[in-house]
Chains A and B, each alone.
Chain A
Amino acid sequence: MAGVTRTPTHLTQGGKTRAGIGESTLRPDGTLKVTGEFAYSSDMWHEDMLWGHTLRSTVAHAEIRSIDTGEALATPGVYAVLTYDDLPTDVKNYGLEIQDTPVLAHGKVRHHGEPVALVAADHPETARRAAAKIKIDYRELPVVTDEASATAEGAPLVHENRTDHHIGHVPHPNIVHRQPIIRGDADEAAKRADVIVSGEYVFGMQDQAFLGPESGLAVPGEDGGVDLYVATQWLHSDLRQIAPVLGLPEEKVRMTLSGVGGAFGGREDLSMQIHACLLALRTGKPVKIVYNRFESFFGHVHRHPARLWYEHGATKDGKLTHMKCRIVLDGGAYASASPAVVGNASSLSVGPYVVEDVDIEALALYSNNPPCGAMRGFGAVQACFAYEAQMDKLAAKLGLDPVAFRQLNAMEQGTLLPTGQPVDSPAPVAELLRRVKAMPLPPEQQWRTAGAGADVRALPGGLSNTTHGEGVVRGIGYAVGIKNVGFSEGFDDYSTARVRMEVIGGEPVATVHTAMAEVGQGGITVHAQIARTELGVQQVTIHPADTQVGSAGSTSASRQTYVTGGAVKHSCEAVREKVLQKGRAKFGTYHPAWATAELLLEGGKVTTDGGEVLADIADVLEDEAIDLELEWRHRPTEAFDLRTGQGNGHVQYSFAAHRAVVEVDTELGLVKVIELACAQDVGKALNPLSVVGQIQGGTTQGLGVAVMEEIIVDPKTAKVRNPSFTDYLIPTILDTPTIPVDVLELADEHAPYGLRGIGEAPTLSSTPAVLAAIRNATGLELNKTPVRPEHLTGT
């Protein structure tokens, strides 16, 4: 790494307290992050480095007839211009599950913003201007943008000659994957229903909008390899996709995680990784690529927009009889995580309810819209929005309280999912609803000031000063959801942790080395807590995440505390056992407890479970280090049957319930969310402060999609119309209400410490709760996210 002057650092944290699990210990990277010294991927710097720039398609679907790079290449300051023809090997595509995504477009572009050419220059503006001089001759092709156009007779195929493993069971080549789930007999059960409600729901395309745009630095190595510093969610998944395109063995592509400015699913797919490496290997110079916000909107996949048709029935005493649904997700031009999103949407389409007779179909389209893939909530979000609207409709039709109706049908431990899989850990759905309803409501008309005036900041419209309370109506809504934790459907979901224990300066210290992507969630905080708890040390150093250690899997699916946390615990236990073995060999004859008692490492000492001190760890270890790297996996899952959807596909579930209180200016159609209360079961809060932070953050992303967030794609041209923070709005601190949180801890006996993955569940129920509250305030049906003023005023 000689010459790299700004790179990720080791994070060392001591502490006066025990700071083990269950305590709100502070982030080891906190000081670096508040002083501006934390090295994010966009902060990487190398002397003599070049800036890379990506030229992207200006049209959604077109044949590329020619590319002329001559003028760009002749621009002073430009070191390289690369197109598809410059790719060094026969591997020219990549992809998470299906390798259908070209590194650079070849012959055809399939969506607006697809990468076509790369430029490296000595200044980012030089690179941008040179890229603008590349001449591409497009012949535009008709676009497919929804189910009707994608599956129409004679529809243009987004991918001709598909050979992936889903093509055999999909009804049309423009469908990536389709998963039906049939259980019981929904038609027969419908005959028992006293009321039936149905609806069509539309969920808009959401952007992860992580604040740190895609970026990184590739440094060519003397051995012909490359060192890549990048922000990602899964180093080893990137590596598996990058190395073959470069024609390098994986050990010659050395990846180090640099600071990640948020992720939320948007960094599961590759963005600039291969591009920077190609430019670095071509020029022999370090190359940095940093997307701006405009490019970031094209640089990562989005949340699948969806159309959902639901039918539910219930008896007059409020018991659900059946559910039928059809969920059409738009996967856009490339597969990304679409197949797994389909699996989630279908298997969680019933929600946290008992319904024995179901007829479910979920599918993802190929279209010329922007590619969609992973985002927090991953298929379960869209379904929750629809089934929770249905629950309110049913309750209203039956004259029942919407919370009581949900509780009457709430899933419990032992309930079967529509896949036939029993939920084998606590499922406190009714209890979470009870808790969230029991929280005190915010006072009415909080916007009134002492002098009978109005603080407009607390009213819909805010500082635009559009109302002083006239036409403002309050509404309250509830929702609850279920999210799976970890990778499902038979995926070998494991993680690796290397733990080293040694004596430094007379004190035992531990080093934890994993490839886990810390994206802000606080995984590194928890790893240090686990090491302290298991090894009884005060000082724990977190080694930078890199590919010099085994895979940690993805920072996705609420899985990292469970799986990499589990791996750290597992490796620590093995290290502890080695320490105890050494202790027994060395000191066993001095005290019988070495042979008979349950021994712990606590406060730097070997103790009995009764607290008696047997030895200092420092004396046991002396100058010897114990260093182990071990894998750990959760219980295996199985694939869903392609015809019936049956199978034990999931490993764990996470539940959250929300109550939204909104005030709506009914004249202007403006919404102010006053409060968004959440109750969530977390199994065991390893770091309570971080748990609450995750719940509040997830809740706010759900609020965003409820009332403001949507990537708008022109249905005629498939071009993105709002790729900027001026036109794609995410909640500001003025849009975000107070978020009281009630945390329940019912242990899952299958998981380390009984914990549950927590990051995604709050993103599910937040959106439908806000929608329910707006419906409650306005009496309108509202079947689409986001709710816009015109939906409320009818104009």
Chain B
Amino acid sequence: MRVTFTVNGRRQEADDVWEGESLLYVLRERMGLPGSKNACEQGECGSCTVRLDGVPVCSCLVAAGQVEGRDVVTVEGLADFARQRAERGGCAGGVCGTGLDEAKRWAAKPAAEEQAGGQSGGPGELSPIQQAFIDAGAVQCGFCTPGLLVAADELLERNDSPSDADIREALSGNLCRCTGYEKILDAVRLAAARGESRTAGQGA
């Protein structure tokens, strides 16, 4: 079958999709977006977390066909997504996806190409939560990181000063085996303290 949906503000099409394929498989293997990770394929680990119409979901549990016509944000689009949200002053509509008008204006940044060549991008190109994960030492092997970033960004979108208990609850669907979570908590606290997410708290 053919599946068409919006990914990180761009309309994408995949042909010859087998009905059993998950959103995760289509993103990784058909759309060249391997940032979302496959670590359990049964919704236990959260490594494949993406936003589907603004809602964090395990993309391994979403059939690709269910996404037809809908809006997906992955870790690859997180920096853009956060920037657009900040420019808009939050997501008052309750859904923080990319609107059709914005999607039409969306253009790939040349910086993304440079990064693929191995040069680390400057801090300006990352979302606050991405930068905080680097600064706080929340990344070790990094396999859980994409899912955690999407989940943590969504938490900060609806709660710009979460308590530790709030952070733990929001991230309890994301397994990490390397860090013992302490530095992940640090990273979310850091991103909240830096206040870059302040504009995002009024939705939902």
| A733 x B139 contact (CB < 8 A) | no
Contacts of A43 in B (CB 8 A): 28, 34
| B126 x A262 contact (CB < 8 A) | no
In whole Å, how far is A238's beta carbon from the nearest beta carbon of chain B?
18
Complex: chain A residue closest to B147, CB-CB: A211
In whole Å, how far is B118's beta carbon from the nearest beta carbon of chain A?
4
Say whether A260 faces chain B, with CB atoms less than 8 Å apart.
Answer: yes
Give the most central of A290, A700, A726: most B CB within 10 Å: A700
Query: Quick check: which of B61-69, B71-79, B85-93, B97-105 contacts chain A, the rest being far away?
Result: B71-79
Say whether B12 faces chain A, with CB atoms less than 8 Å apart.
Answer: no
Give the most central of A35, A209, A730: most B CB within 10 Å: A35
Say whether B133 faces chain A, with CB atoms less than 8 Å apart.
Answer: yes
Complex: chain A residue closest to B184, CB-CB: A733
- Cα distance, A401 to B165, chains bound together (Å): 34
Given A34-B145, A35-B75, A520-B142: A725 in contact with B181 (beta carbons within 8 A): no
Given A31-B121, A264-B177: A457 in contact with B165 (beta carbons within 8 A): yes
Complex: chain B residue closest to A213, CB-CB: B39
Say whether B20 faces chain A, with CB atoms less than 8 Å apart.
Answer: yes
Complex: chain A residue closest to B169, CB-CB: A457
Say whether A739 faces chain B, with CB atoms less than 8 Å apart.
Answer: yes
Question: Which of these, A34, A693, A733, contacts B168 with CB under 8 Å?
Answer: A733
In whole Å, how far is A700's beta carbon from the nearest beta carbon of chain B?
4
In whole Å, how far is B138's beta carbon from the nearest beta carbon of chain A?
8
Residues of chain B in range 31-59 having any CB-CB distance to chain A below 8 Å: 33-42, 44-45, 47
| B118 x A212 contact (CB < 8 A) | no
Given A43-B34, A734-B168: A24 in contact with B177 (beta carbons within 8 A): no
Contacts of B173 in A (CB 8 A): 732
Say whether B185 faces chain A, with CB atoms less than 8 Å apart.
Answer: yes
Say whether A463 faces chain B, with CB atoms less than 8 Å apart.
Answer: yes
| A458 x B39 contact (CB < 8 A) | no
- Cα distance, A699 to B179, chains bound together (Å): 9
| B44 x A725 contact (CB < 8 A) | yes
Say whether B108 faces chain A, with CB atoms less than 8 Å apart.
Answer: no
Say whether B18 faces chain A, with CB atoms less than 8 Å apart.
Answer: yes
Interface band, chain A: 35 or more
Say whether A32 faces chain B, with CB atoms less than 8 Å apart.
Answer: yes
Contacts of B126 in A (CB 8 A): 31, 34-35
Contacts of A35 in B (CB 8 A): 35, 75-76, 78-79, 115, 121, 126, 130
| B39 x A733 contact (CB < 8 A) | no
Contacts of A701 in B (CB 8 A): 177
> Mind listing 20 A-B residue pairs with CB under 8 Å?
A6-B34, A28-B120, A30-B139, A34-B131, A35-B35, A36-B76, A40-B37, A125-B21, A211-B176, A262-B177, A263-B141, A293-B45, A520-B141, A522-B140, A696-B183, A697-B177, A697-B178, A725-B42, A725-B175, A732-B175
Q: Chain B interface (Cβ within 8 Å of chain A)? A: 18, 20-21, 28-29, 33-42, 44-45, 47, 74-76, 78-79, 115-121, 126, 130-131, 133-135, 137, 139-146, 149, 165, 167-169, 171-185
Q: Chain A interface (Cβ within 8 Å of chain B)? A: 6, 9-13, 24, 26-40, 42-43, 45, 123, 125, 208-213, 259-264, 290, 292-293, 455, 457-458, 463, 519-522, 689-690, 692-693, 696-701, 724-726, 730-734, 736, 738-739
Sample of 20 further A-B pairs with CB below 8 A, known A12-B120, A463-B169, A730-B175: A26-B134, A26-B135, A31-B120, A32-B118, A33-B142, A34-B131, A34-B145, A36-B34, A36-B36, A37-B35, A125-B18, A210-B177, A211-B143, A211-B177, A212-B39, A261-B37, A293-B42, A458-B165, A689-B183, A733-B176
